[in-house]
Amino acid sequence: MDLAKFERQAGLATSAIFINYKQRDDLRWCLQQLEWLPEDIATTLFVDYLSRYKRNERSANIWLRTRCETMHKILKRFPVPLFHMSTETRRAALAREWADRCQLLLHQMTDYGHKQVDAKALISAVRQPADQWGICPALPSFEDYEARKAAGEFERDPSFYNAVLGAVCRLTDDKWWTRQLERMFRRYQEHAAIVVGKVRSGVSPYVSNKSLRDYKARKQIAQAWLNGNFVINRDHDLEMLLADAVATSVANPQNRRNELMVRMRGFEEYAKDNDYVGEFYTWTAPSRFHSYVKSKKGTSHANKRYQGASPRVTQRYLCHQWAKCRAALARNEVKFFGFRVVEPHHDGTPHWHLLLFVKPEQLRLLRSIMRRYALQHDKAELAPPKGHRGRNFQGYRPRFDFKTIDPERGSATGYIAKYIAKNIDGAYVADDFEAESSGIHGAEGVAAWASLWGLRQFQQIGGPSVTAWRELRRIREPLNSEDILETIRRTADNADWQRFIETMGGACLPRALRPVKLMKAIDEAANQYGEDITRLRGVMSATLGAITRIEGWEISRQGLGQTDGSAVAFESGDSRAAWSSDNNCTRGSKTPEKDQRLIAELKKLGVEACDLALLRQGAVINSEGSLIRLRRSGQTGAEMLIVSRATDAAEENNADFHDLDAITEAEQRQYIATERQRLRREAWKLMEEHQDGDIEDWINNQSSIELSQLAIEQLTDVLELERIETAMHNKRQRQQTQQQYWEDVEDYADF
């Protein structure tokens, strides 16, 4: 992008800022830095650079250099130019291409299935295209592979070869590649937004505005899909709307929050009765993981130590440090239990809150070991310059802070309740000071952040299995009263987590020694990759088992008593949601059946029935943040509702319209190309048969005027090609006749 376009985007004249020779040289250097960056990122960096340059030229140059270097590192992770991934259609095409590459390597290694290949050599070859992207399906451990293979371990237990086979199947599956590329592109966009400053306090805390809108749109699409499907069991004559089934599970934020609070209260009561003390810890990553930091005045500014880490990389670093900490605690035989909560800083960098209970005599040891690994790296940044230590110097506390729970000042559950609610639904949280917004709005950002980066927000440390707790609560009828299973079931049914811990053997007992375990079943080769699926069936003790889940459940668009369909055929994507018009409707109404189906779908989307006429005229309706339009298939004449995202600002609305138009045009081009090929083949066939009546019927029987015009166009092209071919054939014949004539003349002259 040239300087003039940058100036139009920034709304500033650079001639007023870059006056002398040195400043103009800085401008040329700036344009060189931004030359190979995507246009949107380059524009954002250029605008920010101008504002910084007016304040301090040197710091602006340093800031731009570091940010551009970070962006170049991010872009180098993609083995193809980024514009190849800019649309959903292009990403799908890329997925097919790279899946075919893995397929080709597989065929070359195995000679199309005729040659047996070593498992390690096979997966090493097939995964080469995926290694260029930095992705790979889960693989078994290859440690001591040769020795284990020679000992016959893999022949006795085929699970190793099955895992390798599953990985190969994924690598050659374009759907698996599509999911990976979609996730990579979303995370790239968010990472770029973090680098350029679009994710921070005062702009958009936790996640960018675009990612938050995408998350809400996906939630809305998912909810519409849940509302349009049933979960049924034909063997037991059971059915339930899928949305109701989800609402009764822990996927419901309210149920999730209530369960976490019950478990936290149970931990606290158990700790009190068994003489444990609680301590609350805050663990933060070093400064090099933070893109933007807050000043003492509360304003955010770029961090000069930032090295380009994404939130997922930061979380991996914290988990690695925590793993070393756990190993050290195990070596020192420190017994502890509690909860961990992961939440973002305003710039999206994760940090941890831990509420742990430990024996008083081991408290200082637990604290010191945790502090050692929290401060293991970049410790020098915590020390103030020599001679500048002020009264407010906190030492290591910006990185690692702790607070011992004083029962007289508040309960342990009260310490962590705010963090649980803040990171689920914002209930009972008036203000989110980190995001400088309301608690509900902040919770939406946190949920979008965790979903985008795939981070686990809550984790129980120690204690019995919460899955066993949930399965026991599904059993409503009493079991054998003499068995431990019934005793534990009653504690779970009464929502008494403290008593549940005690009957399960205590908070620190290893899970393998618990009296109640999960009962599981294995379905062999049950998924699309031919892998075994482990299903949860119930719970069992040493002498008794209880089935908590019946088999035969399936998701259906029809209830058990419906035969004509009751829900919509629904396909979701990042940028659109397609609805078919095949749904249940009232028979015998004066309104046409097709219109009744569309009206029913419009009501689900919050659109009045009277707006159907507007949609058929080409209007686009904005309903609660969704853009709704009607598309008519040129081949069958079927009508389809198209739903896409809508944004708040006018210019963002225009951008979404452009995205929708681009998708529509791409699909239309693909459809026209397919129809053109079909019509071309039919036109050649008709011309070979030389039947004029068939040609006229063929044109008139097309499903739309557009296809009829396209058929005439293809027929005209075929006629023109046939005319040209006939003319060329006649010309070749004349040339051959003339050549034969002169050859005869030469033969006669020789004679």
CB half-sphere exposure, 649, CA atoms < 13 A: 5
**Three-state SS string across 170-225, please?**
HHCCHHHHHHHHHHHHHHHHHHHHHHHCCCCCCCCCCCCHHHHHHHHHHHHHHHHH
Question: Tokens 């968010």 belong to which residue?
Answer: 190
Is position 419 annotated as part of the catalytic site? yes
Is position 415 annotated as part of the catalytic site? yes
**CB of 32 within 8 A of CB of 38?**
no
- The residue ranges of DSSP E strands in 530-649, in sequence order, are 533-540, 545-547, 553-556, 570-572, 577-579, 621-623, 626-632, 639-645
> Distance between CA atoms of 647 and 645, rounded to whole angstroms?
7
At position 79, the amino acid (one-letter code) is P
Residue 577, classed as helix, strand or coil, is strand
Q: How far is CA 673 from CA 414, 445, 665, 680, in A?
A: 64, 42, 12, 10
> Distance between CA atoms of 680 and 567, rounded to whole angstroms?
38
> Distance between CA atoms of 400 and 403, rounded to whole angstroms?
11
Report the candidate in 134, 99, 141, 104 with the shortest Cα–Cα distance to residue 119: 141
Give CA torsion, residues 124, 126, 132, 135, to 10 deg. Answer: -90
**Residue 363 in tokens:** 């408290």
Q: How far is CA 204 from CA 193, 208, 219, 310, in A?
A: 10, 5, 20, 16
Question: Tokens 């319209």 belong to which residue?
Answer: 657
Q: How far is CA 515 from CA 11, 46, 323, 465, in A?
A: 70, 63, 27, 11
Name the catalytic one among 53, 188, 415, 741: 415
Name the catalytic one among 270, 419, 428, 748: 419
Helices 705-750, 650-689: axis angle to 10 degrees equals 50
Backbone angles phi, psi at 635, to 5 degrees: -90, -45
> Distance between CA atoms of 27 and 61, rounded to whole angstroms?
10
Bridge partners, 339 (sequence order): 355, 460
Report the candidate in 318, 326, 358 with the shortest Cα–Cα distance to residue 342: 318
Give CA torsion, residues 285, 287, 289, 291, to 10 deg. Answer: 130
> Distance between CA atoms of 467 and 535, rounded to whole angstroms?
13
> Distance between CA atoms of 460 and 341, rounded to whole angstroms?
9
Give the residue numbers annotated as catalytic, written as ranges.
Answer: 415, 419
